[in-house]
Structure 1
Amino acid sequence: MQINNGSDNIKFKAVKKTFRERLFDWLRLTSRTTVRVYRGYGRDGQLQLFGHVLELGPVPPKRYSRNIIRNFFGLIRLFIVRPKPNARVQLVWQQKTIKAVTAADGFFHFQWTPEMPTDAGWHEVKVDHISATGNTVLASATGSIFIPHRTQYGCISDIDDTFLISHSSRLGKRLFVLFTHNARTRKPFAGVVEHYRMLSYAGSHEDTPNPFFYVSSSEWNLFDYIVEFTRTHKLPNGVLLLSQLKHWYQLLKTGQNKHGTKFTRIARILESYPNMRFVLLGDDSQEDPNIYNAIVKHFGSQIICVYLRNVRKASRPHVENVKKEIETAGVHCCYFQHSEEAIDHSLSIGLAEKQVSI
C-alpha cells in the first residue's frame, strides 16, 4: 500500500504545474521559446522571409467572442512578448541551408538567391531555431513564401482606415475599437472587399490572381489578427509587411510608428518586381498621401494608379494638392469617400472588368 501511494505521489509531482505555468495557461501565454514565421515573397532571382523568435508570447486563440472584457485581454496578450536576441535560425531551400541571427527585437530576415527557378505560387517553408553549436533544434515553425505569377499588375495596400475601419486619426476611438473588438467582429468599409477582389482578378484568373501586398504601420504583434480579419471578410490573400514589435506598455502608441520605414518597405517590393506595375491603395488619416507621392516621384513608371480614401475632413485641402502632383506625374489618382467611387474609377481606366461574386 505504501509503495502504491509513493508511486501515485511521484505521478502527481510529474504532472503538477508551477504557479507560473498555471498563470501563463490562464493568460493564454507561453514561456517556451517559440518561432513566428510570417509571409515572405520574391521572384526567380531572390527570395526573402521574415519572423521573430520569442521567449514569451501569446498562444493562438481557441475561439472568438463578442465579450468586451475577453476582447480587451485578448488584445493585451498580443503585446505581452519577450523577444530573443542573437538567436540562431535556419531554413532549408532546395537542399541548401540558409542561416540568420535575430536582432535585438528578436526579428530575423532571410534573404537569398535560389539555385534553381521556383514555380509561382505559395510555398511552405520551415524555420528552425537552433542552439549555438547548431546541433540542437530548440523550436520550429512554418510560414510561406509567395512568388507571383506573371500577371497584369500588383496591388500595395495600407490597412488601417484603408479597408479596415480603425479611426486612426482619433486616438480614443481607435483604442476603443481595438480593445472592444476582435479580428472577426471588426468591420471593413462598405464595398471595399468587392473593389479589392475586382482588382485581384482583373485580367487574371482565380488560380493566378494579381498579387496583393499589405504594408502598414501596425505592429508584427497584430500579424495573426490581420490575417484572420482578411480571411473572415474574404479579402485577397497577400503578403503582410508590418512594423516593429511593441510591448504591452507601448499599447497606447499602437499603429503610431514612424512612417519613414513604410516608404522603404514599398520601395523594396517595387525593386523586387521591376517589370511589374502596381496600384497603391491608402487613406488620408496619416502619411499615405505623402508617402505615395514620394513613391510616384521615384518609381513613376511602375505606378498605374493611386487610391486614397478620404476619412479625415481636415486632410482634404492638402490631399487635393497631392492628387494634382500625382496626376501631373502621369499617374492616375482617385481621392474618394466611398468605395463605389473607387470601383467606378477602376472600371473607367480598365483596372477592373466586372464584379466578382463573394
Structure 2
Amino acid sequence: MIRCLLLLLCLLVAGCTDYGPPIWKEIGYKGKARLNAYLAAGRFLERYGYTVESPAGWPDLESGAAMLIVPAAVISNESYVREISNWVAQGGHLLCLIDNAESHQDDWGNFSNRHLSRDERLPSSFEKWLAAMKLELGERGAASGKTTAERLNVDGESYEVFAESSTTVSAFGAPDAVFGQSAYGEGLITVMTDARPFRNRFISDHDHAAFLLALVKQNPFEGRIIVVRDAVQSLSDLLWRHAWPALIGLLVLTLFWLWKNMPRFGPLRREEGRTTMRDYDHHLEALGDFQWRLDRGAAMLRPLRESVLERAQRLAAIAQREDDLFAWIGERAGIGRERAERAMTHERPADGTSFTRVIADLQKIHLSLS
C-alpha cells in the first residue's frame, strides 16, 4: 500500500512539472568526422580519383606522396623541416595551414590558438624555412583587425573563399594576405593562414571545395594526397582537454587523503587523567609519618627489640655472660654499653634524629647477633 502511494505521488509531481519547449544545441559531428576535421575534404578528392590518406603520425613522404596537407604546428623540429624541404624540391606540393588547422579544435566553439601569439603557435625552425622560401609570415595586432579574403585566385581562376586570420603571409613582396604560394625546386609551397575553408563544417560553403581541387591540380605529378590532422599531443594535454573534471576531483581527493594520513611532527599528546596511585616510597613515607605522629615509633621499635633481646639472652647464656647483658651486647656490636642500653630501652625518642640513631644501633646489634 505504501509503495503504491509513493508511486502515485511521484507521478503527480512529474505531471505537474512544466519543462517548457526543448532547447536544441548544435555540438558538431560524431564518429570519424569528429576526429578528422578534413574527412569531407578527403572524400571529396576521392570522388575525383585521388588517393587520400590520413595517417596517425608523421607520414612517409618517400613512398609516392604528391601532396601534403599539414598544420604548421606539426612541423615542430629541424628534422621535419629538412625532410619536407627535400621532398618539395623533388616535386612535392606542400599545403601548409596556419590557424584553425588541427582536428582537435572545435568548429562550433572557440579555437584554442586564437589566444596565443604567432611565436607560441608556430615552430621557429619552420618559420625561418618559410622566410628562406620567400614566404614571410606576419601578425596583425588587435587594433588593426584581421585579414579577410573573399576571393582567391589560382592559375588565373577566381574562387569565392571566405577566410579570416590575424596571421598574414606575403610572397615576393606582395601585400599581406591569407594565401600565398612560392615555387621551390620542382615543387610548390602553398600557405593558407586560415584552414577553415577546408574543414568539414565549411568546405561546402562558397567555392571552398573547388578552390581545394584547384590547389590539388597544380601538382603535375601523380601520387597520394596525405592529410596530417594534428600535432602530437602529450598525454597530459589530452587528459586535461577531455577529463579535467575527473582530474580536479582526483586532485582534491588526493590532497584530502594526504592531509589525513601524512605523519605529524610528533604523536598527539594524550591528556592524562588524575590518578590516586602512588609509588612505594610514597607509601613508606606516609606510613612512617603516621607511626611517628601516633606514638613516636614505639610500635615499630617494640617487635624489633623483642627479637634482638631474645637472641641476645640465648647467646649470652651460651657464652656465660649473663651478668651484664647490655655490656656484652655493646661489646659485641661495637657501640658501647650506653648506646646498647639506649637502643634497647629508650621508649620515645625526642625527635627524628634520635629515632634514626636508635634504629641504626638496633640494626648493628641485629647484625652482630646473626
Shorter-chain-normalised TM-score: which range?
under 0.3
The one of the two structures with greater contact order (alpha-carbon pairs below 8 A, sep at least 6) is: 2
Q: Which structure's residues are more often strand, by fraction? A: 1
TM-score, length basis structure 1: 0.25
TM-score, length basis structure 2: 0.24
Structure with larger Rg: 2
